[in-house]
Homo-oligomer: A and B are copies of this chain.
Amino acid sequence: MKIKRSERLIDITHYLIEHPHTLIPLTLFSKRYESAKSSISEDLTIVKETFAKRGIGFLETLPGAAGGVRYVPKMTPEDVDQFITDLCEELNHSKRLLPGGYVYLSDMLGDPKWLRRIGRVIASQYMDKRVDSVMTVATKGVPIAQSVALYLNVPFVIVRRDSKVTEGSTVSINYVSGSSSDRVEKMELSRRSLDMGSKVLIVDDFLKGGGTVNGMISLIEEFNSEVVGATVIAENIFNGERSVTDYTSLIKVDKVNTKDRTIEVTPGNFSLD
Q: Which residues of A are interface residues toward B (Cβ below 8 A)? A: 5-7, 9-11, 13-14, 17-18, 46-47, 49-51, 53-54, 56, 98-100, 102-107, 110-113, 115-116, 138-140, 142-143, 146-147, 149-150, 153-158, 160, 164-168, 190, 192-193, 205-206
Contact = CB atoms under 8 A, between A and B. Distances in A.
Given A5-B6, A47-B10, A107-B155, A139 B138 contact: yes
26 contacts: A6-B6, A6-B46, A6-B50, A10-B13, A10-B46, A10-B54, A11-B54, A14-B17, A14-B56, A18-B116, A98-B165, A98-B168, A103-B166, A105-B166, A106-B190, A107-B193, A110-B155, A110-B157, A110-B158, A110-B193, A111-B155, A112-B150, A113-B153, A115-B150, A138-B138, A140-B166
Given A138-B139, A139-B160, A146-B146, A166 B205 contact: yes
Number of copies: 2
A147 B112 CA distance: 9
Contact of A54 (B14, B51, B167): B14
Nearest to A21: B112
A187 to B, nearest CB: 13
A192 B9 contact: no
Most buried by B among A116, A139, A149, A158: A139
A67 to B, nearest CB: 22
Nearest to A11: B54
Contacts of A6: 5-6, 9, 46, 50
Contacts of A113: 153
Nearest to A167: B106
A192 B146 contact: no
Contacts of A142: 139, 142-143, 146
Given A98-B168, A111-B155, A115-B150, 5 more contacts: A9-B9, A17-B17, A106-B166, A115-B146, A166-B206
Given A110-B157, A139-B142, A157-B110, A102 B50 contact: no
B50 A11 contact: yes
